[in-house]
Structure formats: structure tokens, C-alpha cells
Chains A and B, each alone.
Chain A
Amino acid sequence: MSNYKSEEIPVTEPPVIDPTRWVENHADYLFSYAITRINDEEQARDLVQETFLAALERIDKFEGRSSERTWLTSILKNKVIDVYRKKSSGLNKITTSLDAEPQDQDFFDATDGHWNKTHRPQAFGIEEHDPLMSKELNSILQKCMQKLPALWLSVFTMKHMDDETTDLICAELKVSPSNFWVIIHRAKLNLRACLQKNWT
């Protein structure tokens, strides 16, 4: 039956993989990838090391469908998600339980859902197109993000940083789709309020 042309895959360059140069070529990149996602220098360094070691163990599975860096990054990414999962499970999850709903009661009137007077949005300079992303604003933004409960931050980061699908985030972090939207909503309410308070 196999009269057809046998699979003549055009001969491409064999995928380059050279662990002796990983540190030189990818360590800084992977480190910055990790630190922007978990904001803990020591943990980020550990993750880079774990990534290299895990990659060595399964180096035979590298098929060269992607670049070496992409492959390493995907290993690291899974490790970052593990960190999120750990951070947002257990105690943290209980204290941020969504049934309790205290977190946004302040923002809106409990009976009619109007903005409470003290929480009404006020213009503070980011509403017009392209706010100047100064270093200062940058660091306030990061600080405000760190104030979010761990689970919220994990959901928020996975969605905004890596454009993960909602399904994947819900599965990885074990949140229901409806809780996912509640978290996205509350995270933004808190983030916005924090920015308004600290950036005026």
C-alpha cells in the first residue's frame, strides 16, 4: 500500500541542543521569565536550576519541533504553575473563600449594587490613552498586584501574562468557571482601587 512517496520530510538541520551552553544562552532569559511571574528571587533561581536538571533528564524527548529555548521555557512554565498551585491551595484558598464575599462588599452597596461613595472611581491619570509607563507607576502596579490574595494573583497572572485559556487556568488551579470570573472581577476592583490610592 505504501506506494506513495515514502515520507520524504525535507532534511532540516538537526535540532540544536547543547546543555553545556544552556547557562550561557538561556539562564538570564529563564530567570527573568520566572521572576516576573513569581516575584521571589530565590525561588526564581531555584526554578531555573530545576528546569535545567529536569531538561537534562528528558533530553531524549526533545524533538526539535521548537527551539531549545522554547522547550526549556515550557518546562519552566509548568514549574511556575506548580508554584501557583501550591501557593493558592491549602490555607490561602480557605481564607479567600469566595462564599464569604467580604472582599467587594466595601466597593458596592449591598442592597442596590451602587458604588459606595468612598469607593467611586476617580480619574487618576491612567484613563487616557497610553499612560506613560514610568518606573514609579510600574513599581506601584507590581506592589498592588502583590497585595492580592495568592489565588487571585495566580489566576490574574496566568490570564494576563501568558494568555492562558480560561479552561486551563480553571483546571490547573482547581477553580470553577464561575469562580474564575468572580476572581477576575475582584482582582481588578482591588487593583484599580490600590492604584488610585497610591498613584495620584
Chain B
Amino acid sequence: MNELKNIIYNCRKATFLIEKKQLTALTVREKIELRIHLTGCSFCRLFQKQSIGINRMVHELFHSAQPREIRLDDDYKKKLQERIEEELDKN
């Protein structure tokens, strides 16, 4: 009971569970604890929204926005090409 009381007022633990929840399943106990905490804590509710938003932004950063603008410069490519052909000639 004491532990349950702990989480209800403990934002450190609640934010920990918010992170965990986004990557894996929480135990039933953890789910209940988190829900109780969030009901009473507007800061952690806000944290949760922002955390989800950040994960979405990070995902976008790595997946959709990726391959367009970044290119290898032509000189380097030329050297790479030569290097590969050199290696191929060895065999």
C-alpha cells in the first residue's frame, strides 16, 4: 500500500512509466499506478503529451525527412568508384 501511495505522488516514477509504456507493455500494477498518478497530476499529463510528440518528431526526422537533401559530393563518389574498380581488378 505504501508503494502505491509512493507512485501517486511521485512524478519521477510516473515519467519513468510514461517512457516505458511507449516502448513496451506495462504490468497491470504499473498501469493502475500510472493512471492514478495522471488523474491527479497535470504536469505529468503534459509531460506525457510532449513525450509522445517528441517520439513522433524523432521518428519523422529519421524516416520521412531523411534521404532527400543529403548527398555525397561528386569528388568523393568518383574516388569511391575508382577504389571499387581497383579492388575488382585485383581479383
Interface residues of A (CB under 8 A from B): 19-20, 22-24, 27-29, 31-33, 35-36, 45, 48-49, 52-53, 56, 104, 107-108, 112-115, 120-124, 126-128, 130-131, 133, 137-138, 141-142, 145, 159-161, 166, 181, 184-185, 188-189, 191-192, 195-196
Chain A residues whose CB sits within 8 angstroms of the CB of B15 once the complex forms: 185, 188-189
Q: How many whole Å from B30's CB to the nearest CB in chain A?
A: 12
Pick 17 A–B contacts, CB within 8 A, sort by A: A45-B72, A49-B80, A49-B83, A52-B83, A108-B12, A112-B10, A113-B10, A114-B9, A114-B11, A124-B50, A126-B53, A126-B57, A128-B49, A131-B53, A133-B61, A166-B23, A192-B50
**Which residues 48-91 of B have a CB within 8 angstroms of A?**
49-51, 53-62, 65-67, 70-72, 76-77, 80-81, 83-85, 87-88
Main secondary structure of the interface of A (DSSP, over half): helix
Indicate which residue in A123, A133, A160 contacts B62 across the interface (CB closer than 8 Å): A160
- Complex CA–CA separation, A53 to B12 (angstroms): 48
Do B61 and A123 touch (CB < 8 A)?
no
Q: How many residues of B contact A (CB 8 A)?
A: 44
Q: Which among A52, A115, A159 has the greatest number of chain B C-beta atoms within 10 A?
A: A115
Known: A121-B43, A121-B47, A138-B61. A23 touches B81 (CB 8 A): yes
Chain A residues whose CB sits within 8 angstroms of the CB of B27 once the complex forms: none
Interface residues of B (CB under 8 A from A): 6, 9-13, 15-16, 19-20, 23-24, 43-44, 46-47, 49-51, 53-62, 65-67, 70-72, 76-77, 80-81, 83-85, 87-88
